Amino acid sequence: MTCPGQPTSWSLDAVGALEPARAAVGRLVALAGRLGVNVPAGLSAAAPPGGPAELPEPWRNLLENSGRRDGPVGLAPAAAVLPELDGVRFVLAGLRSDATGADLDVMAWGTRVVRHYVLDSGVRRWSWSARDDRGRWHVAEEASASASDQHADLKLRLVPPLHPEATSLEVTVAGQTGQATVTVPLDWRGTR
């Protein structure tokens, strides 16, 4: 119950429910500030006192490299099998890079692959990220997908682009119970 005239964050704070989330709220407010997005006063009031929170290094890196157009252009045989995660096995099946990003082909199969789950915006079972050996972080979004009974073919779009001098890429997929990571070499020979 909120007191008349008091923001909702005050009520949550009064019962001790806000404290576990205060650092996350601070990061959200700091990210909004970096992106030039206004946040409600109640949300800002829920952030830790003392000014904007420090963003995690991967977030800062993504923001600093977001406008780059310097990715290598070519194909790389980025092939690897990731450990099983939440009943699904993922296989990286190749990488196509351009100046603005890269497309990573992924195959998936297992008991938890549901027909068209990748196309349902309300269902996000997997979160993908990558980091190249030059220190540039990348987020991945499903650019396209097709699925049948217990199999799916995904195309993930990595942004910002790969560093032009990157020679390897660490790819991580996070599920509901854990995460799996694999590093693949980036061999651009004969494709540039």
Domain boundaries, the chain: 8-55, 74-185
The pTM of the full predicted model, rounded to 2 decimals, is 0.81
Residue 120 pLDDT exceeds 90: no
The token pair at 157 is 């779009």
Which contiguous run of DSSP H or E holds residue 35?
helix 22-35
Is there a contact between 40 and 47 (Cβ–Cβ < 8 Å)? no
Picking from 11, 76, 71, the residue whose alpha carbon sits closest to that of residue 46 is: 11
Higher pLDDT, 166 or 189: 166
Is there a contact between 145 and 119 (Cβ–Cβ < 8 Å)? yes
Picking from 25, 68, 69, the residue whose alpha carbon sits closest to that of residue 48 is: 25
Q: Which CATH class is domain 74-185?
A: mainly beta
Cα separation, 9 vs 65, in Å, equals: 34
Residue 119 pLDDT exceeds 50: no
